[in-house]
Every structure is written in C-alpha cells, then in structure tokens.
Chains A and B, each alone.
Chain A
Amino acid sequence: KAGVTQTPRYLIKTRGQQVTLSCSPISGHRSVSWYQQTPGQGLQFLFEYFSETQRNKGNFPGRFSGRQFSNSRSEMNVSTLELGDSALYLCASSLRDPAGDTQYFGPGTRLTVL
C-alpha cells in the first residue's frame, strides 16, 4: 500500500499570503490529522477530520482551517501568513476503528514564510 502523501513538499511564501497544503491518506483510512512541528514548540496538533467532519481541533487561531473530501483526501489552509507559521506541517492518517487506530505520518510540507 502506498503511504501518506503530502504536496507540496516545500513551499516559500511571504507574510500576508495564504497557502493550501494537501494530504492523501493511506487507502482505506478515513481519519486525517494535521500537526505543526517547530523546533521551539515541538509537535502540535492542529485538527482531525473523519468522514468529512472536523472531530477535534487544537489551539490554533482561525487563520488555520481545513477540510476533508469524500475520498478522505484533506487540505489545510493558512491565511494571512505570519513569520511564525514557518514550520513542518505533517499529516497523519488512521483507520479510526478498533481494528486499526495507529496514525501513520506523511513526509510533511516544509513551509517557509519570509
């Protein structure tokens, strides 16, 4: 099975712009979670989607949003970029049922805000 894929892998934007990141989960997985990783804050949970519904949300401002499509693919959007948004954005997918709850991560998108 193919793993979790994320596009693009690298992105450079300037302050004030917006960005959309994409995640394709492992085939058959219905849950997609997004995380932000920075050297100072470590791995921080952004939100989780299951069957096109946001089930959980972390403590991030409203500039961070996401959605999930019927094929379980997910996108996250960051509007009005700030320098502090520079980070590795990770997507993780899981089956989200008793048979398989392990989260598998994609390679991440490295976002640099100038």
Chain B
Amino acid sequence: DAKTTQPPSMDCAEGRAANLPCNHSTISGNEYVYWYRQIHSQGPQYIIHGLKNNETNEMASLIITEDRKSSTLILPHATLRDTAVYYCIVRAPLRGNEKLTFGTGTRLTIIP
C-alpha cells in the first residue's frame, strides 16, 4: 500500500469547515483513499473512501485531486465531538492482504 503524509495536528473553530489534507504521491491506479478517525481510546471509525471521483456522505466530503496524488477530507460544520485523530490510508481492496496500516494521522482539535 502507498505511503501517506498528513500534518501532525490542526485546529478548527467550532461551526467552521475542517479541511484535512493528505498526500499520497505514490498511489497506484487501483488503490482507494480511505479515511478513518479515532476518538481517544475508542476503535477507529470509518468515515469515507474514494477512488478518483469526489465523494460525499452524511459525515464528510472527500476531494481527490485529478492526479490522485493528494486528497482533502472536509467536515463541513465541525463540532466538539469531531475532535479526534484522523487517518488517511490508501489500499487496494481484496489484494489478499487485509492488513490496514495506519500512520500517525492528524490530531484535529475543535475549538469552541
């Protein structure tokens, strides 16, 4: 799986959009971009994933650049409960190895 690079920490004001960047310059054509988040001492929570088109669900939007070398997770109206560590992962589904590799992620703090 390709390596990802994320800023170690970010702050965002409550009610504003939180934009979390991720670089994945070595991504392969069949690899998806996945985002998870982990609130302290809980299991990681799946947020969203995409291949090359932008995706949106009830939690967030995922914007993938045309060259697929980077992406941005957008939480449109951040709340205090969005404070967590956010992980960006790239992986090819069903490649035979189901191991997920989490990097150090971005610690997002929502400020009241």
A residues at B contact (CB < 8 Å): 4, 6, 31, 33, 35, 42-43, 45, 48, 55-56, 58, 88, 90, 92, 94, 96-98, 101-108, 110
Q: Among A33, A45, A108, which residue has its beta carbon within 8 angstroms of that of B42?
A: A108
Which B residues have a C-beta under 8 Å from some C-beta of A?
A: 34, 36, 41-46, 49, 93-94, 96-104
Given A35-B100, A43-B102, A92-B100, also A102-B34 (CB < 8 A): yes
A43-B43 contact given A96-B94, A98-B94, A101-B94, CB 8 Å threshold: no
B36 nearest in chain A by CB position: A105
Whether A56 lies near B43 (C-beta < 8 A) is no
Q: Find out whether the CB atom of A56 lies under 8 angstroms from the CB atom of B104.
A: no
Closest to B98 in A: A48
In whole angstroms, how far apart are the Cα atoms of A108 and B43 in the complex? 6
**Known interface pairs A88-B41, A110-B41; A56-B46 also in contact (CB < 8 Å):** no
Smallest CB–CB gap between A94 and chain B, Å?
Answer: 7
Nearest CB of A to B22, in Å:
17
